[in-house]
Structure 1
Amino acid sequence: MSELSHEAGPGASAPADAAALIEEHISVIEPEDALPRVSLEELPDAMRDACGRAGWTSLMPVQSLALPYLMAGRDIMVQSRTGSGKTGAYLLPLLPRLDARQQNAQALVLVPTRELAVQVEHEARTLFADTGIRPAAVYGGVGYKKQMDALRDGAQLIVGTPGRVLDHLLRRTLSLEHLRLLVFDEADRMLSIGFYPDMKEVQRHLPRRRVHTCMFSATYPPHVLRLAGEFMQDPAMLSLSRKEVHVAEVQHLFCACRPMEKDRLLVRLLETENPASAIIFCNTKANVHYVTSVLQGFGYCADELSADLSQSRREAVLDKIRRGALQYLVATDVAARGIDIPALSHVFLYEPPEDHESYIHRAGRTGRAGAAGTVISLVDVMQRMELERIARHFKINLTEMPAPTDDDVAAVAGARLLTELEARFRKLNGLERLRVARYAPLVRSLTDQDDGGDGELMLAMLLDACHQQSLRESRFPEGLPEQRTDGEGRSGRSRRKRSSRRDRDGEAAPRQDAPARQDAGEGSPANDADGTPHASRSRSGRRRRGRGGRTPAEAAPTEPTPPAQTE
């Protein structure tokens, strides 16, 4: 079935009968107190006129099902894949709700990328033409003036990425005091890019009264469901999916490649998919060790589990899994049996299993407790034939996905890195911004080289270092609290335990621990404006030394550091 979408722009055709399409091709799960579906003819005049301006002759299934809930002001989570017409589903109900006479932001749509922000704004301009309702797109990577002018002119609909929306809120060029509707579009992608901290900061600027909130996402893995619970009150779930693959079930995908390209393909898939956590299955212990080394070399928080490991090493890996401090586990079938990784969204098969039953065992690790899951197999020509036999045997709907290219990876990693840099820049104080500004001329000189120098590559090296650091930090609501360490490589939990132990022994170490943490950061009271430490640091360090000339941090036992975190 060809996919028809209103996102194609004005004049795009639509199915003649949305209800028939729903019954024939789409599996729908509606809330217990479901509202009746609506047709184009049943919409208010203003909404029908808007459909006419866009060239829509009927409603798409997601619009027919979701519009009644949005028109009734009910919080709802809509599961619908990209390109299904969901943009119209949340824009059309705005027509009777937005007041063109009020020059303030009344609706906010948060999207993951600037491209989607521009696309939604364009569609909104078409739907809202001649109504007096003005949309404005705000996103990072560009200047502020045009966006500030649109906000100053009183745009009623704001479409933007969370980071840039937060920038405008902090600059006081945007206020959400009069907000009526909040929409999260493609929430799963926003979390993948790393916008969760920004979304929580935006939440602090929302009115204290209830704001009608809706969420649209292609999938609802655990971290997306957790996000919904933080922004919405008792939301209903409306799920649309193809009848062959239900949203709460597992997607079975495969990528074709040559045998020698599997390691690079796996890295590209991890970059573009960015799972909350995943298991990578291999058939042999040698491949487990090799894949783990590759992932650690690229900076991922990955570790292995195989029969070759000592018992103490296995227990250390299992402990990291239990604490949620390990993002990627590489293992054989035998080693992975009985292991439950929290929020496991993806399973990767570096090679298909040697028997059919093992495929079901591997795939069953994800998609648990009603959450969505994805299984991606990496196959060469012969392995593809074996995988297709497994799919026929178990009647699995197996779908080929295109292998991500270097450009795909660069775009995804670039978007994530830009989000990280914008967040860091917002946290700088005035003195730190002056310090950073000293290097602006050097940046310009490095990027203006005409002799083919290495200036751009040197800047890219610094960006890669920032990206590698972000790989070790959680970008999802559940977090990886035990992965973050202080300057000595100790976990926060271990530090708190030792502090409590020193309290019981009658020592005053906790009071001295605070200066130690201040010394570690730039711009702290222990540092000069340019980051140079005060002379008092060495004196305080000598005061903290105990017997044997060691500091408490050096004397205390430390947890084993995974290879991926070793600098």
Structure 2
Amino acid sequence: MVSEEDVAEEASAQSEPLTNNNHDKKEEKTWEDLGLVDVLCKTCEQLKWKTPTKIQKESIPLALQGKDVIGLAETGSGKTAAFALPILQSLLENPQRYFALVLTPTRELAFQISEQFEALGSNIGVKCAVIVGGMDMMSQALVLAKKPHILIATPGRLIDHLENTKGFNLKPLKYLVMDEADRILNMDFEVEVNKILKVIPRERRTMLFSATMTKKVRKLQRASLQDPVKVEVSTKYQTVDKLQQYYIFLPVKFKDVYLVHILNEMAGNSFMIFCSTCNNTIRTALMLRNLGFTAVPLHGQMNQNKRLAALTKFKAKSRSILISTDVASRGLDIPHVDVVINFDIPTHSKDYIHRVGRTARAGRSGNAITFVTQYDVELYQRIEQLIGKELPLYKTEEEEVMVLQERVAEAQRIAKMEMKDLTEKKGKKRKGGGADDDDVEGAMGVRKRLKYGKKGGNKRKK
């Protein structure tokens, strides 16, 4: 079920999301005005969702009329409820198993969507199943055998079950939702999506939600939707007004030093730091841990349980810094992120929008700082062109920053040795699925025992 933090986050999102429109109270709509039945309206009230967001106001009435919908909206605008509520209402009118399929690009987003469905369907006994990679196929097959109402899946794993799990098919399906459709296609799921479209009924309702309308999304729209109605919350790429965005121009060799300086300067906040590679997330986490920061890595090579554990630690505030690849840039509703740092500048300009969208959510303020080295100028200029504004320089005193150089260099040296330990450990147990928070702590423990000669330093690892 959804945690209290998540519900509170979504509740404040229901006030007025990331749009900059003047709020006219006369036009303010209630859940009843959208055509939702009493039981769903009451559930929204129980979740403290006072009024619908713009994407919900626009798309829910159309979906209730049985139309195919294309929803274009920014991250954090309440898209999940925009498709979940009409599906649940239709399910109430025509109860059946395997009623709806939601396709999503990442595992974390799949679990989050499932939590939303379960919260919204808590009063009507809805059963959901999450079918994603990184989990045991047999246990998933047992869940599918119970025939849940709603399936939330990543395309690759769903194809695995369609091809290999006896007795499983999607012939009864009434609704197909593709959430973050642009990302699904960017992750090269096009072949899998086409296979899925071939084996599900043509007589169905389809909803396609995307932050951007790319050529691939248009192609998908033509292939899967019938006379769709387009709902567009924003017509250009934009970031939230309450988000303060900055850049720092710095030499590439001093990136770590500047990072530590900012973390010290803004101590007390929670941070998401984006890196371009899995290895760099681990290296940066180790380096920061050696300096006393509570940092946890999150990347695509970790298995699913480890990824969920990392997210849980950050959400529970037992870790104040989440260092991630772009696996966490889209869709994830992580409350209370105060600062986003683009440690490595995104290669694709549109990813910048999604990264910085992790902060300043649901009406709160937030900061985003992008590191620009001598090699990143062109990429940075593309970002400014995309968002339509020049960002101010984040002011730092070079002398203050470079005071940290010696301490950071020592932490980098230790992190390098710990990375070597992790690589050797991974080589011995290939099944690990990438280093996680526990592996990071393990590597640090070995180094600390060697460094300080603590008791137990000569014990052999099992």
1:259 corresponds to = 251
Tell whether 2:179 aligns with 1:179.
Answer: no
Tell whether 2:389 aligns with 1:397.
Answer: yes
2:89 corresponds to = 96
2:197 corresponds to = 203
Match of 1:161 among 148, 154, 160: 154
SS in structure 2 opposite 1:137? Answer: strand
SS in structure 1 opposite 2:41? Answer: helix
- Residue 219 of structure 1: how far off its partner (Å): 1.2
SS in structure 1 opposite 2:22? Answer: helix
Q: How does 1:275-294 map to 2 (within 5 A)?
A: none
- CA separation in 2, counterparts of 1:14 and 1:93? 21
Tell whether 2:38 aligns with 1:41.
Answer: no
Contact 1:99 1:133 in 2 (8 A): no
- CA separation in 2, counterparts of 1:73 and 1:79? 18
The 1:256–1:229 alpha-carbon spacing in structure 2 relative to 1, beyond 3 Å, is farther
2:233 corresponds to = 240
Match of 2:145 among 152, 155, 177: 152
Q: How does 1:517-536 map to 2 (within 5 A)?
A: none
1:71 corresponds to = 64
- Residue 186 of structure 1: how far off its partner (Å): 0.6
- CA separation in 2, counterparts of 1:163 and 1:134? 22
Tell whether 2:21 aligns with 1:23.
Answer: yes
- CA separation in 2, counterparts of 1:221 and 1:396? 19
SS in structure 2 opposite 1:159? Answer: strand
Partner AA of 2:224 in structure 1: F
- Which whole-Å deviations, capped at 9, do the CAs of 1:290-325 have from their partners, x for residues lacking one? xxxxxxxxxxxxxxxxxxxxxxxxxxxxxxxxxxxx
Contact 2:15 2:50 in 1 (8 A): no
Q: How does 1:348-359 map to 2 (within 5 A)?
A: none
The 1:166–1:454 alpha-carbon spacing in structure 2 relative to 1, beyond 3 Å, is same
2:449 corresponds to = none
Partner AA of 1:49 in structure 2: K
The 1:44–1:98 alpha-carbon spacing in structure 2 relative to 1, beyond 3 Å, is same
Aligned residues: 287
The 1:8–1:164 alpha-carbon spacing in structure 2 relative to 1, beyond 3 Å, is farther
The 1:65–1:14 alpha-carbon spacing in structure 2 relative to 1, beyond 3 Å, is farther
Match of 2:129 among 118, 136, 151: 136
SS in structure 2 opposite 1:163? Answer: helix
Tell whether 2:79 aligns with 1:86.
Answer: yes
- Which whole-Å deviations, capped at 9, do the CAs of 1:357-382 have from their partners, x for residues lacking one? xxxxxxxxxxxxxxxxxxxx97459x
Tell whether 2:219 aligns with 1:222.
Answer: no
SS in structure 2 opposite 1:9? Answer: helix
- CA separation in 1, counterparts of 2:275 and 2:17? 36
- Residue 14 of structure 1: how far off its partner (Å): 3.5
- Residue 223 of structure 1: how far off its partner (Å): 1.9
Q: How does 1:448-527 map to 2 (within 5 A)?
A: 453=424, 456=427
Partner AA of 1:9 in structure 2: D
Q: How does 1:302-381 map to 2 (within 5 A)?
A: 379-380=372-373
- CA separation in 1, counterparts of 2:170 and 2:233? 31
Partner AA of 2:230 in structure 1: M
The 1:261–1:254 alpha-carbon spacing in structure 2 relative to 1, beyond 3 Å, is farther
Q: TM-score, normalised by structure 1?
A: 0.43
- CA separation in 2, counterparts of 1:182 and 1:144? 23
SS in structure 1 opposite 2:234? Answer: strand
Partner AA of 1:105 in structure 2: Y
- CA separation in 1, counterparts of 2:393 and 2:64? 37
Contact 1:100 1:133 in 2 (8 A): no
Contact 1:37 1:68 in 2 (8 A): no
Partner AA of 2:144 in structure 1: L
- CA separation in 2, counterparts of 1:126 and 1:257? 45
Contact 1:15 1:21 in 2 (8 A): no
State which structure, 1 or 2, has the greater radius of gyration over its C-alpha atoms.
1
- Residue 258 of structure 1: how far off its partner (Å): 2.9
The 1:119–1:49 alpha-carbon spacing in structure 2 relative to 1, beyond 3 Å, is same
1:192 corresponds to = 186
- CA separation in 2, counterparts of 1:145 and 1:55? 38
Partner AA of 1:40 in structure 2: W
1:10 corresponds to = 7
The 1:254–1:57 alpha-carbon spacing in structure 2 relative to 1, beyond 3 Å, is closer
- CA separation in 2, counterparts of 1:227 and 1:112? 15
RMSD: 4.7
- CA separation in 1, counterparts of 2:188 and 2:18? 39
- Which whole-Å deviations, capped at 9, do the CAs of 1:43-73 have from their partners, x for residues lacking one? 3213202212322121122111111111112
- Which whole-Å deviations, capped at 9, do the CAs of 1:494-520 have from their partners, x for residues lacking one? xxxxxxxxxxxxxxxxxxxxxxxxxxx
- Which whole-Å deviations, capped at 9, do the CAs of 1:343-401 have from their partners, x for residues lacking one? xx9579xxxxxxxxxxxxxxxxxxxxxxxxxxxx97459x99xx99x979x99324589
Partner AA of 2:231 in structure 1: L
Contact 2:237 2:387 in 1 (8 A): no
- Which whole-Å deviations, capped at 9, do the CAs of 1:506-548 have from their partners, x for residues lacking one? xxxxxxxxxxxxxxxxxxxxxxxxxxxxxxxxxxxxxxxxxxx
- Residue 205 of structure 1: how far off its partner (Å): 1.0
The 1:165–1:136 alpha-carbon spacing in structure 2 relative to 1, beyond 3 Å, is same
The 1:45–1:259 alpha-carbon spacing in structure 2 relative to 1, beyond 3 Å, is same
Structure 1 unaligned blocks of 5 or more: 1-5, 27-35, 247-252, 273-344, 349-376, 403-449, 464-567
- CA separation in 1, counterparts of 2:157 and 2:185? 16
The structure, 1 or 2, with the larger RCO (C-alpha pairs under 8 Å, 6+ apart) is 2
The 1:94–1:216 alpha-carbon spacing in structure 2 relative to 1, beyond 3 Å, is same
- CA separation in 1, counterparts of 2:15 and 2:48? 16
- CA separation in 2, counterparts of 1:192 and 1:85? 22
- Which whole-Å deviations, capped at 9, do the CAs of 1:5-31 have from their partners, x for residues lacking one? x996324433786599663389xxxxx
Contact 2:14 2:49 in 1 (8 A): no
2:305 corresponds to = none
SS in structure 2 opposite 1:188? Answer: helix
- CA separation in 2, counterparts of 1:14 and 1:85? 11
SS in structure 2 opposite 1:129? Answer: coil
- Residue 124 of structure 1: how far off its partner (Å): 0.9
Contact 1:151 1:173 in 2 (8 A): no
1:123 corresponds to = 116
Of all paired residues, the percent bearing the same amino acid is 27
